[in-house]
Structure 1
Amino acid sequence: MFTVFKNMSLLFVVQLFGYLVPILEIPVLARSLGVQEYGKVVLVQSIALLSSLVVEYGFSLSAARQVSLVKTDMSTLSKVFGEVMSAKVIISSIISFIAFIFYTFFYSNTFEIEVVGLGFLYFLAFGFSPFWFFQGLEKIALVVFLEVALRISSLLCLFIFIRHPSDALFALAILATFALANTLIGNYICYRGGCRIRFSLSGGWLQIRKGFHVFIYKSSNNILLSAGPALVGLLCGKVAVSGYVPAEKIIRGFVGFINPVLIGFFPYLNRQYLSSAKAASKLSWIIVGLMFLLGCVSALAISVAGGFLISKLLGADFEQATTTLQVFVWIIPFRMANQALGLCMLIPRGMDKVASSAMLLFSVMSILLASLLSIKYYVNGIVFGFVLAEIMLCVTLLILSCRYKPVTYMEERTE
């Protein structure tokens, strides 16, 4: 348990800076670039991040689980690492080809080629991050220090060099460069530790098949928030994105604060469900309850103070962000409970398929509800659709957690 709490503490540091840095980026970029150019930058970021979620493929859960169960076997670890990287190459190649076709025939007049190139680097940086490997090993101190240092460096560069709307391309270059540096150094550390990247088509395909249900779960879970800026841009225009993103970043940051707890317990609970399922289940329910209560307190606090902070930091041009935040804030307790139910209850018990099916259903439902409500209520309708879908998902996951018989990962693996 000492390792669990140590890793949680380190992950809290990452999450703290992961929350503070994007929040501090908002006034730096918004005031310097203006509504139009800022909206373009965050739209490209959002598309790149959304695409990288497909390349990441949920390996932070499925592959980290494999690593946590064989973390003393260097030969197997190297094999898993190579197979996962091969899988990422396969997936990213498919996505890149599709993106090239779409850009050539539909969007070549919308985004400059330089912007697309920097967005592609941003996509590679997040898609090929090896953090999943260190998470499974429960050895994250070095990569935590690296990520925090590069995040701070990126923010300082934005503050120093970004002054005018004409600096939009330079701002995107700074963001992409530091993100890519983090990924390259992380993979080099894995190489120095004994992992070799040997491309294997069969091994990559094996990992894709192994992680399919976890991928559906994780990508569906992320799309409820990650697809927001792209959906707002599509339905309401680029200017509306600049009013949505500040509220979305605040919500994402607070929700993200639970990740250290859930990710810290994830390898431990996977092992505990093999040896003492009853005790592990009790601990999981405690975590779920605490997450929901903490989410309610956070939502109330942001509802009271968030609007004031947005108006002071961004100015009158971003009044829409304040209105959006008042609705969006109530997604927090349900999102926190849903993540706890998935990572502490369903997936460690081998219920990957059940969890992924529920997440996929409500991800699609959230997009449909958001699109329908946007017709009458504009950006706030999109937000309300997300919140409503999250509440329905929470009820569904609670029912599944109580009614379905758990299947341990080891049993599932032997089938």
Structure 2
Amino acid sequence: MDGGGRPLLSARGVIDAGLVYGAHGLRFLAPLLLYPVLTRRFGVEGFGVYVAAVSLATMAAVVVDYGASLSGPRDIAAARQAAGSIIGRMLALRAALVLPAIGLGLWLGWINPVLDGDWAVVGAGIALGVGQGASLVWVFQGLRDPAPAALAEVGGTLAAAVVVMLSPGLGVAGALAVQAAGLWLGVGVGAGLMLRRVRLEWPRRGFVRRGLVEGGALFASRAAVTAYTGGVGFVVAALAGPGQAAIYAVADKIVGAASSLMRPLAGLVGPRIAGLLAEDAPTAFRTARWSLIVTPGLFLGLAAGLWIAAPVLVRLLVGEGFEDAVGALRTLVFILPLVAASQVLGLQLMTALRMDGRFALMVGVGCVATLGPAAVLAPAGGAEGMAGARLIGEAVVVLTCLVCLRPHWRFLFARGRHVPAV
């Protein structure tokens, strides 16, 4: 219930949320189905090349998206009558950014010694990344009907995963190309659904400059997050070689699947905090404090379980040749409670308090605090060194969140039920 006693979600909203979170879970299922096949098919070195290309795709996707997946739902929901104009402007900007994204992908493929010269792999990675950036789920989130597009895109991704698993003759470039085709199939279905719902309007002259300025802050935040999360496989490959990139990717994918369990909770608690801040601020801060205690605690327990199960998980998931992933996994699992804490402090509380500038600062600090230690730890320690750098970076992010929220400490950490009025 909200402050007025109304339910936070309607029955339709609960169904849509369940479908979206189900689609999100299936998105994580596809790599978990593929990894046992690809690691055995490509071996450690070949799988490291695959990981570097997937990381390249993630970075290219950020350029094409340019923050639209964050700002689009908000803008469309706030001005439903102008949805055709908003969507048309954002899609036109994305189209204009495809060439820069391709240029970035080619440059990344050239500077990374693991990918240098293998332009078929680089090209397939770029196609995958542009497809990721072209996702239209944000349009349907703004229209408050996200399930159809999400399920269509995930369906294409899963179909591609099945094709890859059933095609033993595919090399790294072929596997990436099939995954890109599956993703583009889902995007095409989403585009058809969108055109049935919305009449697009072509943007006015100068839309590129305006779009770049308006979306710059969100793009910078997304780029920084990608640099020290999704792009880490590329960094490890460049600093420590494809074998260590492959080993790190195994640990990262297991931890990533575990961290995805935070999304549904954040989707429920975050809007409640934002709504309560305008109506009952003391209760909003009590809710945030409760979330800050419970969520990291739950994920600390999950981290401990993964630490114990690490040898079995690695053996079942990827088989022989990846034994060193156990050490990387046992280090990396302890980012889970840290990420949970930063999600509560940053995504749930700082964004609700409209601390957008400080949030961007926090993301930038996290990027530097991860990649700086990585430059020292990864060349010598490989996958375990990179895992240690991630742990340092996530700890710094939590500390930065706390520093940014210092003016609100007396509300957030007040004892008992009697929180002072804001």
Same fold (TM over 0.5): yes
Cα deviation code 1:353-381 (max 9, x no counterpart): 11001111221121011111224323211
**Offset at residue 332 of structure 1 (A):** 1.0
- Please, what TM-score do these two structures have when normalized by structure 1? 0.87
Aligned equivalents of 1:392 and 1:104: distance in 2? Answer: 32
Question: What is the identity, as a one-letter code, of the residue corresponding to 1:171?
Answer: A
From the superposition, tell whether residues 174 and 92 of structure 1 become closer, same or farther in structure 2 (CA, over 3 Å).
same
Give the alignment partner of residue 64 of structure 1, picking from 46, 52, 73. 73
Q: Is the 8 A contact 1:85 1:197 kept in 2?
A: no
Aligned mates of 1:249, 1:370 — CA distance in 2: 19
Q: Which residue type is aligned with residue 250 of structure 1?
A: I
More helix by share: 1
Separation in 2 of the partners of 1:320 and 1:109?
Answer: 23
Deviation at 1:175, TM superposition (A): 0.8
1:13 pairs with 22, 41, 44, which one? 22
Instruction: Report the 3-state secondary structure (helix = DSSP H, G, I; strand = E; otherwise coil) of the residue aligned with 1:46.
Output: helix
2:49 corresponds to 1:49: no
State the shift of 1:7 in Å: 3.9
Contact 2:49 2:115 (8 Å CA) reproduced: no
Q: Which structure exhibits the higher relative contact order, with contacts defined as CA atoms closer than 8 Å and separated by 6 or more residues? A: 1
Instruction: Give deviations 1:148-197, integer Å, cap 9, x for gaps.
Output: 42233122212211x25x63332112111111112222122222211416
Measured after TM superposition, the shift of residue 100 of structure 1 is 4.3
Q: Which residue of 1 aligns with 2:145?
A: 139
Q: Which residue identity is paired with 2:340?
A: M
Distance 1:167 1:404 in 2: 54
SS of corresponding position for 1:139: coil
**Secondary structure of 1:349's match?**
coil
Give the distance between the partners of 1:32 and 1:116, measured in 2 at CA. Answer: 19
List runs of 5+ in structure 1 lacking aligned partners. Answer: 406-415
| Inter-CA distance 202–188: structure 2 relative to 1 (3 Å threshold) | farther
8 Å contact kept, 1:7–1:264 = no
5 Å-filtered alignment, 1:2-401, equals: 2-3=9-10, 5-70=14-79, 73-74=80-81, 76-100=82-106, 110-161=116-167, 163-164=168-169, 167-196=171-200, 198-200=202-204, 202-263=206-267, 273=277, 277-401=281-405
**Which one-letter code corresponds to 1:11 in the other structure?**
V
CA distance in structure 2 between the aligned counterparts of 1:108 and 1:376, rounded to whole angstroms: 17
Distance (whole Å) between structure 2 residues aligned to residue 208 and residue 271 of structure 1: 30
The residue type equivalent to 1:21 in the other structure is: A
**Counterparts in 2 of 1:61 and 1:348: CA distance versus 1, 3 Å:** farther
Residues matched between the structures, number: 400
Q: CA shift at 1:202, angstroms?
A: 2.8
Residue aligning to 2:414: none
Kindly, what percent of the aligned residue pairs are identical?
21
User: Displacement of 1:126 after TM fit?
Assistant: 0.7
- Deviation per CA, 1:285-342, whole angstroms, max 9, x where unpaired? 4444332122212211211113212113322201121111010111111112212322
* C-alpha distance in structure 1 between counterparts of 2:45 and 2:227, whole Å: 24
Distance 1:102 1:359, change over 3 A: closer
Aligned residues of 1:85 and 1:199 also touching (Cα < 8 A): no
Q: In 2 relative to 1, CA 355–183 (structure 1 residues): closer, same or farther, beyond 3 Å?
A: same
- Counterparts of 1:195 and 1:271, CA distance in 2: 32
Please provide the CA RMSD for this pair: 2.7
Greater alpha carbon shift after TM alignment, 134-143 vs 278-287 = 278-287
Q: Distance in 2 between matches of 1:55 and 1:241?
A: 25
Aligned equivalents of 1:106 and 1:324: distance in 2?
A: 22
CA distance in 2, matches of 1:170, 1:306: 31
Runs of at least 5 residues in structure 2 that lack an aligned partner in the other structure? 1-7, 410-422
